[in-house]
Amino acid sequence: MVNVKGGAFRKRPPFTSTMILMPNTNTLNALREMFGERLQTTEEILSLHSRDISWHPPSLPEAVCYPESTDEVAEILRLCHTNRTPVVPFGAGTSLEGHIIPYAGGITIDLSRMSAIKAIHPIDRDCVVQAGVRKLQLNKALQPHELFFAAGPGIDASLGGIAASGASGANAVRYGTAKENIRALEVVTAEGKIVKTGSRVKKTSAGYDLTHLMVGSEGTLGIITEVTAILHPLPGYSAVAVVSFPTVQEAMEAAVAMIRQGLPLAMLEFMDEVVMRVINNYAGTDYAEQPTLFLEIHTDEALADIYRHRLSKIITEQHGSDFQWGSSPDEKARLWEVRYNVAHAILAIRPGGNTMSTDVCVPISRLAECILQSKAELAKINHVTPLFGHVGDGNFHISPNILVKNEEEIRLFQRINEELINRILKMEGTCTGEHGIGIGKKKYLEQELGQPAIDMMRAIKKALDPYHILNPGKIFDFY
C-alpha cells in the first residue's frame, strides 16, 4: 500500500471474472520497443492515471502508453489481445464513477496526444476530431464559424471521454446529451481492428446503429479514437437569470412552469439552500441562502423582452425574489460563476475530503416529489449534504463531502444512495442521468433494467471482447 492524495493505492483489487490474466512482462517489453519514451512507468505518471475525480479508491496501472494515431492504438490492442493484457482508455481523467481506474492492472492508453481537429464543416454543422480533443479547445476553434459543441459536462472533458461515458451537462435541456450530438465514431476493437460506425450525413438507415452502441459503453467494447460531432449555431441572444424561492416546492413549480410555457431554456439549474450557504462560505458572496434557480435563455434579441416578461410572471406567481438578469458577457460570467464553483466549494467544506455524487434522473412530473422526499431523508442525518442539479431535464445530485478513510461515512452515504435509487426507480427514473455506471452503480443497473437486459449486454461484450481485456470490471461483472 502506498499512500497518496485521494486514498491508498490498491495494486490489483479483485473483480468478478472467470478470465485468467497472463503476466504482462512480454506486453511491456514489446510496447517499450514500439513506443520508447511514450511508454511510461514512473510513479508520478502511474499515480496520475490511477484515479478519476471521484471517491473511488485508486489503483495503479503497470504502464501508461501515449499513442498519437488510430493505427498506433490498433497496434497496442492487437498486442494486448494476443497477450490477454487488460487495457483502460484515459482521456482527461474527469469521470465520476471509477471508469478509468485500472483495477485489473495492465496498460492505460492515454489519448491526450491525439488532439487534432481534423475537419470543421460549417454548412453541415459537424466536425471530425481525434478523441483527445478537449471541449474548450474545440469550442474556441469553432468561434470564428459561430458554432459550438453543446454536449458534455461543464468541466473540460475530452470528446472521446464524453462519447465513451455518454455524458451530458447543463446544456442537455435544450441541446441534448452526447447521444444526440455524436454522428459517427472511429473505434478500435479489442482485436485491434479499426471500425467506422457511421457517416457524416444527417440521416441513415444503413445497418445496426453501432455509433450509439459505443456511446456510453465506457471503453468496454472498443476504444474511441475519432468523433464526428454535431454542432449548433451560437445563439443570437443569450441571457442568464438567477432567482431565489422561499421553498423547494415553489422553486420546482417555477421550473416546471418555465418548461411547460416553452421558454427557450438552454440551461435550468437548481441549487438548494445548503449549496447556497456552502457557496457563500467558499466565495465570500452574499446570495440568499434559499432554494435557487440558475437559467440561461437562448433566443433572438427581438424576442428577449417577451421571454423576460413571461419569466418574471412565473417568478412572481411562485414568490421568487432576488431576481437577477444579465446579458453582457461579464454579467453572464459573474452569475454562472456561482454554479461552476459548486464542486470546489463542496471540496472546501473539509480539506482532504472527496465528493460522493449521486446522479439520479426522474421524469419532470415527479421531480419536486423526489427532491422533497430526498431532502426529508437528508434532514435526519448530521451531515452537510448539498443537493443540486440539472432540473431542466430531471437530473439532480446529492453530493456530500466524505472522508474516504471513514468507513462509517462511506456506509452511511452508500445507504442513502441506495434508498434514493430505490425511490427514483419506483418513479420510472434512472440511477445515472449523465455520469455512467463505472464500478459505482453496477448493482443498480441490473435493478433498473433487469437480468435479461444485462444478459444481452454480456453477450455483446463477449462477442466483441472475448478475453475481457477492455476496461474489465466496469458496467457489469463478466462471467
Query: For residue 331, is pLDDT > 90?
Result: yes
Query: What's the DSSP call for residue 23?
Result: P
Residue pLDDT, tens place only, 81-112: 999 999 999 999 999 899 999 999 999 999 99
C-alpha cell at 180: 444526440
C-alpha cell at 55: 471517491
Whole-number Cα distances in Å, 315 to 256, 319, 391, 411: 12, 6, 16, 40
Most confident of 81-85, 353-357, 408-412: 81-85
Domains of the chain: 3-112 (3.30.43.10), 117-233 (3.30.465.10), 237-426 (3.40.462.10)
Query: For residue 55, is pLDDT > 80?
Result: yes
Q: What value does the CA radius of gyration of the chain take, rounded to a whole number of Å?
A: 23
Q: What is the pLDDT of residue 10?
A: 43
**Which band of pLDDT confidence, cut at 50, 70 and 90, is reported for residue 437?**
very high
Query: For residue 318, is pLDDT > 70?
Result: yes
Q: What is the pLDDT of residue 205?
A: 92
Q: Which residue has the higher pLDDT, 28 or 8?
A: 28
Query: For residue 414, is pLDDT > 60?
Result: yes
Q: What is the pLDDT of residue 6?
A: 38
Q: What is the pLDDT of residue 343?
A: 85
Largest CA distance in the chain: 69
Query: For residue 18, is pLDDT > 80?
Result: no
Contact 370, 362 (CB under 8 A): yes
In sequence order, what DSSP letters do the residues of 409-437 get, joined into one string? Answer: HHHHHHHHHHHHHHHHHHTT-BS-SSS--
**Which band of pLDDT confidence, cut at 50, 70 and 90, is reported for residue 478?**
confident
- Average pLDDT across the chain, whole number: 92
Go through 126-138 and write b for each residue having 16 or more CB atoms within 10 A of its CB, e for each that does not: bbbbbbbbbbebb
pTM of the predicted structure, to 2 decimals: 0.91
User: Rounded to the nearest 5°, which phi and psi values hold at 182?
Assistant: -125, 125
Distance (Å, whole) CA 206 – CA 3 = 52
Handedness of CA 34, 37, 41, 45 (dihedral sign): negative
Q: Give the number of residues written for the chain.
A: 479
